[in-house]
Amino acid sequence: MLYSSQTGGFYATEIHGAAVPADCVEITDERHADLLLGQSQGRRIVADEHGHPQLQDAPVPPLSTRQESAWERIKTERDRRTQLAGYQVNGHWFHSDTFSRTQQLGLVIMGPNMPPGVQWKTMTGEMVTMTPALAGQIFAAAAASDIAIYTAAEAHRAAMLASANPDTYNFSGGWPPTFQG
């Protein structure tokens, strides 16, 4: 196996023939395997002063970059919960996805003009009779859920920013209850 410090690539004369760069140095198959294993674990393959490949730890990104990445993960969880967690009214869990929210808002807007006997499917598959009062309660529960989820996300953001290692900050707890528990 051959390694080129100029291209950072590995070559085999049986495969690459005359296309092998002139600066190549020979390495053993075992060394090649070790280098690839190290690379798969996040290390980088670089050339030493003699053009031989060696493993180097990847540079640690700046704290601000790591915090930004952690905040993106927290926001993803916040948005997932907003869309999928549901909200509970009178012992029933109602869907919280965008489509369901639009339908629920439509029922609130209809108010007393809502047709009587409208059946609404809950997250458990149970059917409930929709009324203007229930539609209003669902709308209020949605608003309360959004506020609680937002508040939890912001608390996680503050704790993550105060953390010495935002990469490993655990934001799995502290969220409001969800349909799935």
The first and second tokens of residue 23, run together, are 């600066």
33, pLDDT greater than 90: yes
Report the mean per-residue pLDDT for the chain.
96
Q: Average pLDDT in the 128-138 region?
A: 97
Q: Average pLDDT in the 120-147 region?
A: 97
67, pLDDT greater than 90: yes
Integer Cα distance of 150 and 115 in angstroms: 34
The confidence score (pLDDT) of residue 118 equals 96
Complete DSSP assignment for 26-54: E--HHHHHHHHHHHHTT-EEEE-TTS-EE
Q: Average pLDDT in the 32-38 region?
A: 96
The highest-confidence range among 8-22, 56-70, 144-158, by mean pLDDT, is 144-158
58, pLDDT greater than 90: no
The confidence score (pLDDT) of residue 180 equals 85
Domain residue ranges of the chain, discontinuous segments joined by +: 2-56, 63-168
79 conformational bin, left if phi > 0, alpha if psi -120 to 50, beta if neither: alpha
